[in-house]
Copies of this chain bind each other. A is one copy, B any other.
């Protein structure tokens, strides 16, 4: 029932007109990469699968819909007996994806394929947004750990829970969100709030009590009063008095305010001089990929970054604009392509039932380009392949010695789940590995190289023929 109302009014309409079993094909794709980045990370498939395998309407749902007075009893009975029977293909979670290529394809009775639109988009848009942002932040941290700390600033509970799942897929190493950690097996981390320090008579006393209680996980927050004069000296005193006699080593200190670059270097020196060269410094305080990059440029002595609101809401770009468009529909027993006109040529969608191929160089192992083709095309790469820019079609490139990989995996076949969901750690590793195969030029933050997403000759021809025909029909613009 998390759906837009029009999905239901349309479904009722398809049924009323006997269109319910007409086969339609919908693509999910997106047009713009968040933060003007070079790629996005696809995520959310597991929750989409969970939704589709549990899709049914309760008596209460049906009573509500009946009460609206808009729907036929035949339709309400249809919903009551709803049995999902579509085919779905998707790229695996953690895959780097690019604008205008299909990342999910749904094929099946139009009444069903249309109906799942809102849930599919909400799920994939949200998690892809956060996974993409997390991956940017993790790349900025250049191999240092990034902890996800954003629950309190998330947009709702699921924003926190699925957001921290997506952040882990994108490369974060842990979360502060207990329910996510529990549900998805993500490592959980956390230290103390300033209120812990304030609840005791002194900072020293608060630190001491914490260290006595958690000698194996001792992380102290050192900025409640004054990092250099009070926080770090008190931490060192407690490490010496409480942990060392037990043969334990402290884990870290955390700095949550002030000039992190300056304070971290001061604190590092204090820790080192006291013999705590192994104790890490965690920084948190409205961090994002740019501040982290800048901290590293300044040689800040930070070992771990804890990132909150800028990550969990993808604050600088809080919407992932995935769309879901009809690209083919059955007519007289055959799939015929559909296209939607638009004022700007880049916004026209790709017609027909398609495939997505990715080329990897056999020399370097790197990703070199993606190719979108018609479903039944055979693409040969043994003797090289010519690709061309779909807008500036005179720009061609001949690829040799490449391997081709089919990117869209079968997920549902006639409504039956046919996909073995990898574990979250497998997804995370796959993500980091695949990002590793992208050229650095695609990964930079400023003016990244535009990765090639080209069309097969047949698809390009089809699209242009359809546009020419529709243009002729509706010649006059505004």
Residues in chain A within 8 A of chain B (CB atoms): 1-10, 12-14, 16-17, 19, 22, 24, 26, 61, 64, 68, 70, 110, 114, 117-118, 121-123, 125-126, 129-130, 149, 151-163, 176-179, 181-182, 188-196, 198-199, 209-210, 213-214, 217, 224-230, 257-259, 262-263, 309, 313-315, 318-322, 325-326, 329, 338, 340-343, 470, 473-474, 476-478
Contacts and interface: CB of A to CB of B under 8 A. Distances in A.
A156 B326 contact: no
Contact of A313 (B8, B177, B190, B318): B318
Contact of A151 (B4, B153, B325): B4
Given A1-B182, A182-B1, A199-B326, A122 B156 contact: yes
A153 B226 contact: no
Contacts of A26: 195
B193 A6 contact: yes
Given A4-B190, A5-B177, A70-B217, 19 more contacts: A2-B178, A5-B181, A7-B193, A10-B193, A10-B195, A64-B182, A68-B188, A118-B152, A122-B159, A126-B159, A153-B319, A153-B321, A155-B318, A156-B157, A156-B159, A194-B325, A198-B326, A226-B476, A227-B478
B126 A154 contact: yes
26 contacts: A2-B160, A5-B178, A6-B176, A7-B190, A9-B191, A9-B192, A9-B214, A10-B195, A10-B196, A12-B213, A13-B192, A17-B209, A70-B214, A114-B195, A122-B152, A122-B160, A129-B155, A153-B319, A155-B163, A158-B159, A198-B338, A224-B340, A225-B473, A227-B478, A309-B321, A313-B313
Contact of A474 (B110, B156, B226): B226
A252 to B, nearest CB: 13
Given A4-B151, A68-B188, A155-B129, A199 B477 contact: no
| Copies of this chain in its oligomeric complex | 2
B178 A22 contact: no
Q: Among A10, A117, A338, find the residue whose CB has the most chain B CB atoms closer than 10 A.
A: A10
What 5 pairs between A and B have smallest CB-CB spacing?
A: A5-B190, A156-B158, A6-B190, A121-B152, A318-B318
Contacts of A156: 122, 126, 155-159, 161-163
Nearest to A347: B257
A179 B319 CA distance: 21
Given A159-B158, A318-B315, A340-B224, A1 B178 contact: yes
Contact of A13 (B118, B210, B340, B343): B210
Q: Among A155, A195, A473, find the residue whose CB has the most chain B CB atoms closer than 10 A.
A: A155
Given A17-B209, A214-B9, A159 B149 contact: no
A158 to B, nearest CB: 3
A185 to B, nearest CB: 10
Contacts of A478: 227-228, 258-259, 262-263
